[in-house]
């Protein structure tokens, strides 16, 4: 959960300055089930999917409004099927 921190500074002559900032960004959320990842990718607030292919796994990262959700798949064939199952309107970017 993000938190907002506010500071009020009072200078001489009754001038008040209010400074506020949000706390540190939240960590990405890891999803372990393919079905749950597909449901997340179909949400209205899902903006894009990044696919990162490594030598031993494939990582799918879907950016939603609040969190970045990550799914790691070891099987390359399942990863290819998942790539074809992504919603057509979603922006897909493959990373090297």
How far is residue 41's CA from residue 21's CA, in Å, rounded to a whole number?
Answer: 30
Percentage of the chain modeled with pLDDT above 90: 70
Structure confidence at residue 79 as a pLDDT band (50, 70, 90): very high
Closest CA to 61 of 85, 95, 84: 95
When the pLDDT of each residue in the chain is averaged and rounded to a whole number, the result is 86
**In the predicted structure, residue 56 carries a pLDDT above the cut 60:** yes
Share of the chain above pLDDT 70, in %: 73
| pLDDT above 90 for 9 | no
Listed residue (87, 52, 50, 84) closest to 68, CA to CA: 50
Residue 93 pLDDT more than 90?
A: yes
Give me the sign of the Cα torsion angle 70, 75, 78, 80. Answer: positive
Greater confidence (6 vs 72) lies with 72
Taking residues 14-23, what's their average pLDDT?
64
CATH of domain 26-95: 3.30.720.90
């Amino acid at each position: 959960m993000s938190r907002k921190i506010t500071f009020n500074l009072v200078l001489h002559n009754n001038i008040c300055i209010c400074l506020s900032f949000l706390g540190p960004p939240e960590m990405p959320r890891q999803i372990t089930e393919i079905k749950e990842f597909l449901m997340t990718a179909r949400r209205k607030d899902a903006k894009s999917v990044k696919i990162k292919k490594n030598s031993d796994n494939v990582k799918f990262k879907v950016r939603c409004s609040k969190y970045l959700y990550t799914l790691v798949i070891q099987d390359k064939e399942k990863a290819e099927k998942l790539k074809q199952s992504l919603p057509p309107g979603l922006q897909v970017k493959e990373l090297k």
